[in-house]
Amino acid sequence: MYRHSNLKLVDLVNHGLDLMNQGEYKKAIDVFEKAIKIDSKHFIPWSNLGLSYLELGDYDKAIEILKHAVQL
């Protein structure tokens, strides 16, 4: 379970993680993108967004996003 001071962000990240666990990576991407709009400087939604792209086989996009996550 993910924790953060913004409860909406927490709800989105946890929902995205649930979707990833169910193999619903495209839906998880949508959720993590919404979380990033709330807090674009937090690495958790970015890293999970990158992992979702990785699971879908979009390696270039995954690398780009994961590199960004590491820099945060």
Pairwise CA distance, residues 42 & 26, whole Å? 21
What's the structural domain count of the chain? Answer: 1
Tell me, yes or no, whether 1 lies in a domain: no
Q: Is residue 2 part of a domain?
A: no
Would you say residue 17 lies in a domain? Answer: yes
The whole model's pTM is what? 0.89
pLDDT score recorded for residue 15: 97
**E strand or H helix at 37:** helix 25-38
> Per residue in 4-62, pLDDT tens?
567 789 899 999 999 999 999 999 999 999 999 998 998 999 999 999 999 999 999 99
* 66 lies in some domain: yes
* Domain containing residue 18: 7-71
User: Given this model, what pLDDT does residue 24 score?
Assistant: 98
61 compared with 1, residue with greater pLDDT: 61
Instruction: Look at residue 24 and tell me if it is in a domain.
Output: yes
Q: Is 64 helix (H, G, I), strand (E, B) or coil?
A: helix
Question: Could you tell me the CATH number of the domain that includes residue 54?
Answer: 1.25.40.10
